[in-house]
Amino acid sequence: MDATRAYDLIPAGLGVSTVLPDMDFETYSEAGYIWNEAAGNWGAPKGATKKGIFAVGAAVYSEHPTTEVLSLAYDLKDGLGPRLWLPGMPRPLDLLDHIAAGGLIESWNDGFEWWIWKNVCEARMGWPALPFWQLRDAMAKSRAFALPGALGRAAEVLGTVDQKLTDGKRLIQKFSCPRKPSKNKPHWRVRPEDDPADFALFNAYNIGDIKAEAAVSAICPDLSDTEREFWLCTKAMNARGVAIDVATVNAGVDVLDQALAQYNAELCMLTGGTVAAASENQKLRGWLGAHGVQVASLDQDARASLLARDGLPPEARRAVEIVDLIGSAGVKKLYALQRQTTQAGRVHDLFIYHGARTGRDTGADVQPQNLVKSGPAVCRCGDAHCGRYYGQHLIWCPWCGADAAFSDQQDWGAAGATAIEDVAEVIRSRSLDRVEDVYGDVQLALSGCIRGMFVAGESMDLLASDYSSIEAVVAAVLAGEDWRIEAFRQRQDIYLVSAGRITGRTLEEYARHLAETGSKHPDRQKIGKPAELGLGFGGWLNGWRQFDDSDTFTDEQVKDNIKAWRAASPTIVEMWGGQIRGRPWAPDRFELFGLEGAAIAAVQNPGQCFAYRSICYGVKGDALYCRLPSGRYVTYHKPRLAPASRWEGQLEMSFEGWNTNPKNGPMGWIRMQTFAGRLFENVVQAVARDIMAHAVVSLERAGYPLVLRVHDELVSEVPRGFGSVEEFEAIMGQLPAWAAGWPIRAAGGWRGKRYRKG
């Protein structure tokens, strides 16, 4: 018998965790598996590296005709403990009555449970509907508490008594997935009655999952009311999904298949059969090495570097060109779009709530936050002719035959929003030759269209806008950098204002240059942009070079620019904080100040709070909490201080967390270093996210249902004629009370059928 009952409150973190009824499905499906007759085995769908639900997503998985429930474990927290429902049993009336009465139900990654409930239990078995507002997700709590999103990992990190059973992977592979038939066992799946003993273990695994989920949930504090509403908006967005231009996606896949076949055949012939496909990187690197071209990688940057090299052997150059033509991961998003589109023509579950430590979304599956920006260089035929777009390699318009002299050359950034209709039409010819004839580079033609494959449904429009330089504004306001705040309030170009602070030039000088030349001053791109994008979080040479690869400045000149930027931004530098005044190698005095100082002081003095401006740090238990202006917390588990390896007398701070960035160390749960600039970066990103979260809730309440959230951009799907860009941006500009008066605005809004960059 359980000691806790539904809706009991358990102290957790800086709040409480509410004990909730929970449930977990185990299922069988052949979704995401393709039978390969020649190999006599199940393979992954086209373009996928994984099989099953990982290839197609929960929505497509749940509507597949072979998908069925094998077992349902649930616990109503009524003192009767976990129970198990199996097909063939009477309906689980206690659970159904609980749902019908409006009771809450918790799961781990509840999107899967909801899709199975909707498309299997409700649609095929006649169970009652399960409304969104009754759902709760223990995984969402875990992520918000800076713990892993995988149940087994979270339970392991927390050391809970109830752990995810280790035999689960074998049992799922056995009962939930199709199998390779053999002469002695010709059936394509193992049914429960085929191995009752193992199926009993499978059911125990199902019950074990809800125990592990409940154990982790009990340690993770509940989401606040504000945060829970934002999470529910995220859930609604993932469930409604976004419509896809299915016809063009399918045609694009056909064209890509043709390109892969043609260019892989050429590569195979070129390498004498050594390399059969552009995907065989290791073999190709070996072949290149045998031809005197040593490379450690063939990623996009490495290929660009190779192709820019003088004296590259012709056969090696062509091999790299082939990989560049068809090896783009961005182009292969077409495969993901095709296999993850539901019968209704939509893709779902594209966003992971609180995927980043700061609370930002991360992308899933198709990765809409990482869409290709490039496309073919095009000409637009003159208005006196057809006004359509084609590749710059042509000397006449393929649409109307007009001389290219009557056309304007445009890059994809300027042309993409309108050119995509013409590119998509050519792609729908399903002819590789036609695509290459009209646009030259098939990879650029296909990748340039991917963003536009997200569309509005029938009789609907997409309506979108994004925040202008929101992180830069947040950084300025949090630090109290008045000249920056005023620049944003006056809607001045921050890159030019920043460049002027470094060079001594005035905005009037920059304005005269624009008037005289028709182009913005080079300082904007070569000084202002790398300074603003690379230095705000403590960046040094590498931070600058990341946004300026022009080699305009020597390292010493860049250092002078950085020092000038820091001198012009003293309150930002002060907010980074530190442990000494003066130079690190020759300190004037030791002093804890700014964010780093507050965080270190909090670790040294558990139970006390240390604030800098509107940010407060404190330690409770074995976690460091950073309180944001919104009242939300960023959590750092097991914070530790150690003598700094570089500077005598100073300390290094580290914490344990789930790492997804290989630049920070091995992937997974590791100990990570943090420091002044990174603490500021976390705070700025978290505060910007809270402002966007407020806008998300406000827009949903106002009847603008969101279908995409891409970085600082919000995209809604609305009935044609409903609302306006002006109203949409006005709602985004209605800031929460704690940010009242901040010079944050939404701009560049648009309305249309296809998703595009504003």
Q: Which two tokens stand for residue 679?
A: 């603490």
The answer to whether residues 39 and 160 belong to one domain is yes
Q: Which two tokens stand for residue 118?
A: 């909707």
Q: Is residue 260 part of a domain?
A: yes
Amino acid letter for position 639: P
pLDDT per position as a tens digit, 278-335:
888 899 999 988 888 888 888 877 888 888 888 888 898 888 888 887 777 778 899 9
Whether 3 has a pLDDT exceeding 70, the answer reads no
Q: Which two tokens stand for residue 678?
A: 């990174």
pLDDT band at 239 (very low <50, low <70, confident <90, very high): very high
Of the listed ranges 39-43, 456-460, 472-476, the least confidently predicted one is: 39-43
Q: Is residue 345 part of a domain?
A: no
> Which has more confidence, 214 or 328?
214
Q: Could you say which of 189, 207, 222 is where a domain stops?
A: 222
To the nearest whole percent, how much of the chain has pLDDT over 70?
Answer: 99
pLDDT per position as a tens digit, 663-689:
778 888 999 999 999 999 999 999 999
Of the listed ranges 12-16, 95-99, 443-447, 573-577, the least confidently predicted one is: 443-447
CB 325 within 8 A of CB 273: no
What dihedral do alpha carbons 26, 31, 35, 36 form, nearest 10°? -110
Distance between CA atoms of residues 709 and 693, nearest Å: 10
Whether 594 has a pLDDT exceeding 80, the answer reads yes
Going from the C-alpha of 25 to that of each of 28, 50, 489, the distances in angstroms are 10, 21, 52
pLDDT band at 758 (very low <50, low <70, confident <90, very high): low
Whether 250 has a pLDDT exceeding 50, the answer reads yes
Burial class (CB in 10 A: 0-12, 13-18, 19+), 627: middle
pLDDT for position 461: 97
The answer to whether residues 29 and 105 belong to one domain is yes
The answer to whether residues 178 and 265 belong to one domain is no
User: Per-residue pLDDT averaged across 83-93, rounded?
Assistant: 97
Q: Could you say which of 553, 568, 583 is where a domain stops?
A: 568
User: Per-residue pLDDT averaged across 170-196, rounded?
Assistant: 92
The answer to whether residues 112 and 254 belong to one domain is no
User: Per-residue pLDDT averaged across 718-728, rounded?
Assistant: 97
CB 378 within 8 A of CB 389: yes
Distance between CA atoms of residues 683 and 678, nearest Å: 9
Going from the C-alpha of 585 to that of each of 114, 250, 384, 595, the distances in angstroms are 58, 61, 68, 21
Of the listed ranges 70-79, 155-164, 481-490, the least confidently predicted one is: 155-164
The answer to whether residues 72 and 202 belong to one domain is yes
pLDDT band at 137 (very low <50, low <70, confident <90, very high): very high
pLDDT for position 635: 98
pLDDT for position 324: 82
pLDDT for position 516: 92
pLDDT per position as a tens digit, 602-612:
999 999 999 99
Its pTM stands at: 0.93
Angle at CA of residue 483, ends 477 and 484, nearest 5°: 50
User: Per-residue pLDDT averaged across 484-508, rounded?
Assistant: 95
pLDDT per position as a tens digit, 21-59:
999 999 999 999 999 888 888 999 998 989 999 999 999
The answer to whether residues 193 and 253 belong to one domain is no
Q: What stretch of H or E contains 484?
A: helix 482-489
The answer to whether residues 218 and 252 belong to one domain is no
The answer to whether residues 279 and 162 belong to one domain is no
CB 263 within 8 A of CB 322: yes
CB 237 within 8 A of CB 707: yes
Q: Could you say which of 283, 308, 335 is where a domain stops?
A: 335
The answer to whether residues 146 and 105 belong to one domain is yes
User: Per-residue pLDDT averaged across 554-576, rounded?
Assistant: 95
Q: Greatest CA span in the chain, whole angstroms?
A: 85
Whether 253 has a pLDDT exceeding 50, the answer reads yes
Structural domains counted in the chain: 4
Q: Is residue 690 part of a domain?
A: yes
Q: Is residue 368 part of a domain?
A: no
Q: Which two tokens stand for residue 6?
A: 């539904």
CB contact set of 367 (below 8 Å; sequence gap of 6+): 333, 350
* Residue whose C-alpha is closest to residue 628's, from 682, 592, 672: 682
The answer to whether residues 255 and 323 belong to one domain is yes
The answer to whether residues 212 and 250 belong to one domain is no
Q: Which two tokens stand for residue 457?
A: 């449904």
Whether 1 has a pLDDT exceeding 70, the answer reads no
CB 455 within 8 A of CB 712: no
The answer to whether residues 126 and 85 belong to one domain is yes
Amino acid letter for position 621: G
Q: Is residue 624 part of a domain?
A: no
CB 364 within 8 A of CB 373: no
pLDDT for position 2: 52
User: Per-residue pLDDT averaged across 461-486, rounded?
Assistant: 96
Amino acid letter for position 508: E
Q: Which two tokens stand for residue 412?
A: 């994809």
Q: Is residue 207 part of a domain?
A: yes
Q: Is residue 555 part of a domain?
A: yes
To the nearest whole percent, how much of the chain has pLDDT over 90?
Answer: 79
Residue 41, domain extent? 9-222
Mean pLDDT across the chain? 93
